[in-house]
Chain A
Amino acid sequence: GEDVEQSLFLSVREGDSSVINCTYTDSSSTYLYWYKQEPGAGLQLLTYIFSNMDMKQDQRLTVLLNKKDKHLSLRIADTQTGDSAIYFCAETKNNAGNMLTFGGGTRLMVKP
Chain B
Amino acid sequence: DGGITQSPKYLFRKEGQNVTLSCEQNLNHDAMYWYRQDPGQGLRLIYYSQIVNDFQKGDIAEGYSVSREKKESFPLTVTSAQKNPTAFYLCASSIAGQKSFYGYTFGSGTRLTVV
Tell me the A residues contacting B by CB distance below 8 Å: 30-31, 33, 35, 40-45, 48, 50, 88, 90, 92, 97-100, 102-105, 107
Contact = CB atoms under 8 A, between A and B. Distances in A.
Contacts of B40: 107
Contact of B100 (A98, A102, A104): A98
B98 A97 contact: yes
Given A42-B107, A42-B109, A98 B42 contact: no
Contacts of B2: none
Contact of A98 (B41, B88, B94, B107): B94
B106 A43 contact: yes
A30 B100 CA distance: 8
A104 B106 contact: no
A71 B94 CA distance: 25
Interface of B: 6, 31, 40-43, 48, 50, 88, 90, 92, 94-109, 111
Given A50-B101, A98-B97, A99-B48, A88 B43 contact: yes
Contacts of B6: 42
Contacts, number: 67
A31 B106 contact: no
A105 B94 CA distance: 20
B-side interface mostly:
loop
A-side interface mostly:
strand
Contact of B111 (A40, A90, A107): A40
B90 A43 contact: yes
B96 to A, nearest CB: 6
Contact of A90 (B88, B90, B103, B105): B103
